[in-house]
Amino acid sequence: MLSYPDHDSEYCPSVWTQVQDNRDLNTMTCWDKYDISQDRVDSLNQETMYAECRHLVFASMTTSVYLTEDIVPDYWTIADKAQDKLSSLLERLTGHWTKCRDSSRSSHRSSRPQAPDTDRLAAYVASNQVDILLPLFSCVLALGNSSQESSLEPSLESSLDTVVTHLVSSLSQLEQKISVDATNLLNRFEIMEQAVLLSETLGLLGVVSGAIQVLLRPAGKGGKKVKKGKCVVPANLQFLVKPFNRVIEQAVDVANKLVGEVERFEEMINESSLEDSLSGLSLVNDVQKDGQSIVQKMSQSYRDSFHQVKTIVRSKKTYIATLTL
């Protein structure tokens, strides 16, 4: 399913205590003297928390795949087990995610010219990506530790239902933001960012759901063969089939609606063309010509971005739809 990452991709807690800020924020001069030292510290903390959270998410995803495949990274020892690795990662991710949410609530955006750019943590928390993936990771771990004779916690069913809830919430937030802020030039980046994060979430959901599907119908490990060599789900795992299928069905539905929302956003941008706005200004011919050239490139960049997002989402949807049990 995946080629495993390089040796330096394994999660290491000590790395995140050594992050240094190499941004040169003194290039922006301003007559209004303002000490940005605290803004800089806050920004670095937020960005570090965001990067660490992302690392934990992708480490958990790849370890989930190791649990279902006969591959392991070359830096693992003989004693290392995917179940133990995943359990440790999920414990850290759960605790770190709580810190991220608390930190994002208390963060503020500085309007000072010298201040750092708005951190990415707040947008990431708002995307619900970790809330969507954590129950899936937990399901992989529970299935990996189970046997044909053992029984799983009934709470796994309700935890999969939370995935559906958070998926719907993420799409609803994007729909509302497009309806309210699509014509606002300064807010377009945030809308595109949320659309990209949701499309990425669908991709990650597809990978982890693929691992769950493998564990739910284990060929040669108790799964009975039916027509065309397919396996059915063992009796002790049957209670997870419906909630798992609900996750898949909802993910496909969200993917379809996401494509529709991206197209709606694209139409709204086209209606409020920057070129039309520029034509209404009284500018020198050379300035007008250069301005139109820049705006045309910006418009083309938007079109390319919309095309890429829609293509990716449709591709992910096609794969996710095949995971239904």
* Residue whose tokens read 């829609």: 310
pLDDT digit string, tens, across residues 175-191: 999 999 887 877 888 89
Query: Phi and psi at residue 73, in whole multiples of 5°?
Result: -65, 150
Bridge partner list, 225: 231
pLDDT at 5: 44
pLDDT digit string, tens, across residues 73-108: 888 888 888 899 999 999 999 999 999 999 888 766
Token output for 309: 């997002």
Query: Nearest Cα to 196, choosing from 96, 313, 118?
Result: 313
Half-sphere CA count of 215, side-chain side, radius 13 A? 28
pTM for the predicted model, two decimal places: 0.84
pLDDT at 97: 95
Q: Where are the beta strands (DSSP E) in the chain?
A: none
- Is the pLDDT score of 4 beyond 50? no
Q: With pLDDT > 70 as the criterion, what percentage of the chain qualifies?
A: 79
* Residue whose tokens read 């992302």: 54
- Is the pLDDT score of 168 beyond 80? yes
- Is the pLDDT score of 213 beyond 70? yes
Give the count of beta carbons closer than 10 Å to the beta carbon of residue 135.
Answer: 22
- Is the pLDDT score of 1 beyond 50? no
pLDDT at 222: 46
